[in-house]
Amino acid sequence: MPKGNLYVVSGPSGAGKSTICRKVRKMLGINLATSATTREPRTGEVHGVDYYFLSHAEFEKKIQEGAFLEYAKVHNNYYGTLKSEVENRVNQGEKVILEIDVQGGLQVKALYPDAHLIFFKTPNLEQLEARLRGRKTDSEETIQLRLKNSIEELKCEEKYDICIVNHTVEQACNDLIQIIEEKENLS
């Protein structure tokens, strides 16, 4: 059985990754590998669906066990992808999307050179800030931290295979679908 394709979607908080990945997954029937995190769940998020919500101690135990394909500490919380979430699906010929931070994306590319790295960003920093504030889920301190981190994350765009500028959700979804369809036709 041929292996599946692994798509890594990264970019600053507020770039629209989650919204776009959710829509594209539904439209194309693609699995999203569920990430683990130590942050608190947002309203409506479900353990095992949106994330595996772990305590810091649980997460650090899994690090010691070598259970993560990639992990990083971002905005004072751990985020990571369990190896089992990806390897089983790719080996069964499935398309898998990882929606992870930039640090993690580069870690995955080092382990899976055939992974397709896709970087999302907003047209400018003003729109990024407006989107972060529009969520109404984060404190001012968290928004400022996310903005500061975004400037650093934007410097990694050149290390990614493809960049999508998210002007609108519809356009960004269409761009991502086109990229996936092109890659699948080459497989």
pLDDT in tens, 2-43: 788 999 999 998 899 989 999 999 999 887 778 899 999 988
Whether 55 has a binding-site annotation, put simply, is no
What CATH number is attached to the domain comprising 19? 3.40.50.300
Tell me: do 51 and 11 sit in the same domain: no
Q: How far apart (Å, rounded) are the C-alpha atoms in residues 5 and 8?
A: 10
Note whether 156 and 66 are same-domain residues: no
Picking from 93, 113, 129, the residue at the C-terminal end of a domain is 93
pLDDT, mean of residues 53-63:
97
Q: Does the annotation flag 26 for ligand binding?
A: no
Tell whether residue 35 is among the known ligand binding residues. no
pLDDT greater than 80 at residue 70: yes
Pair 107, 157 in one domain = yes
User: Total domain count for the chain?
Assistant: 2
Structure tokens at 172: 């960004």
In a shared domain, residues 3 and 77: no
3-class SS of residue 13? coil
Give the pLDDT confidence of 155-184 residue by residue, as tens digits: 999 999 999 999 999 999 999 999 999 988
Tell me the HSE value of 178 on the side-chain side, using a 13 A CA sphere: 9
Same domain, residue pair 112 and 158: yes
My answer on whether 101 and 130 are in the same domain is: yes
Q: Which domain holds residue 51?
A: 34-93
Is 84 annotated to bind a ligand? Reply is: no
Does the annotation list 17 as a binding residue?
yes
Q: By CB neighbour count within 10 A (0-12 exposed, 13-18 middle, 19+ buried), where does 21 fall?
A: buried
Whether residue 113 is annotated as binding a ligand: the answer is no
Query: What's the pLDDT tens digit per position in 110-154?
Result: 888 999 999 999 999 999 889 888 888 888 998 898 899 999 999
Do 22 and 42 reside in the same domain of the chain? no
Q: What is the pLDDT of residues 87-110, one digit of tens each?
A: 888 989 899 999 888 888 998 998
Is 44 among the annotated ligand-binding positions? no
User: What is the predicted pLDDT for the residue at 50?
Assistant: 87
Q: Tell whether the model's pLDDT for residue 74 goes beyond 80.
A: no
Which of 77, 93, 109 terminates a domain? The answer is 93
Residue 148 assigned ligand-binding role? no
Token reading at 7: 């798509």
| Coil, strand or helix at 76 | coil
The domain that holds 81 is classified in CATH as: 3.30.63.10
Whether residues 109 and 155 share a domain: the answer is yes
38 and 116 inside one domain: no
E-strand ranges in 59-145 read 68-74, 77-82, 96-99, 116-121
Angle at 65 between CA 149 and CA 97, to 5 degrees: 50
| Rounded distance between C-alpha atoms, residue 8 and residue 112, angstroms | 11
Please tell me whether residues 104 and 79 are part of one structural domain. Answer: no
